[in-house]
């Protein structure tokens, strides 16, 4: 058992979230699902809590109601190795009600914030040539979805 597990408070749509996240992330699985008692008023038989694993990270999905919403102060970061990976995660996570934002940030249809960026970004932005790093940063600041080719072009000057 891991010491820290992420809990996502959802508005009575845990099954939808399970289906969504396990379809987007190929290395994922459902670990456990608990249901409200059958006689629970308004929720009988509905999922109460589900434990899923995505890329070896455990998440608890809680069917808790509309009182609390996700916001940008917490996000999950996906490091992609290729433009195809960036495109896949960007398109999958923004589908069906997600929202694009700036600099590789987006919200999925549940309002959860994600950062989708290439592994090479950190290397380019930490280059010993400060002007090169600044060009890369300026290029990234103009993007919504990160385009690796454009970052590399900015690095070249």
Q: Is the pLDDT of residue 45 over 80?
A: no
DSSP string, 38-100: TTSTTTTTSEEEEEEEETTEEEEEEE--TT----TTSEEEEEESSHHHHHHHHHHHHTTT-EE
Q: Which residues contact 132 (CB under 8 A, 6 or more apart)?
A: 124, 155, 157
pLDDT of residue 66: 87
In the chain, where are the structural domains located?
Answer: 1-68, 70-157
What is the dotted CATH code of the domain comprising 70-157? 3.10.180.10
**Which CATH topology does 1-68 take?**
3.30.720
Other Cβ atoms less than 10 A from the Cβ of 44: the count is 11
Span 8-36, pLDDT tens digits? 999 989 999 999 999 999 999 999 998 87
Q: Can you tell me the distance from the alpha carbon of 154 to that of 157, in angstroms, rounded to the nearest whole number?
A: 5
Q: Is the pLDDT of residue 64 over 90?
A: no
Share of the chain above pLDDT 70, in %: 94
């Amino acid at each position: 058992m891991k010491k820290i597990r992420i809990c996502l408070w959802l508005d009575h749509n845990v099954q939808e979230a399970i289906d969504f996240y396990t379809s987007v992330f190929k290395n994922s699985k459902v670990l456990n699902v608990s249901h409200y008692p059958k006689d629970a008023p308004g929720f009988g038989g509905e999922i109460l809590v589900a434990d899923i694993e995505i890329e070896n990270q455990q998440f608890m999905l809680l069917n808790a109601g509309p009182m609390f919403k996700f916001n940008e102060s917490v996000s999950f970061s996906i490091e992609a190795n290729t433009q195809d990976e960036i495109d896949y995660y960007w398109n999958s996570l923004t589908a069906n009600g997600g929202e694009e934002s700036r600099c590789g940030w987006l919200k999925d249809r549940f309002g959860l914030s994600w950062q989708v960026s290439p592994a090479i970004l950190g290397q380019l932005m930490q280059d010993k040539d400060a002007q090169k790093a600044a060009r890369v940063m300026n290029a990234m600041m103009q993007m919504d979805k990160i385009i690796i080719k454009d970052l590399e072009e900015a690095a070249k000057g």
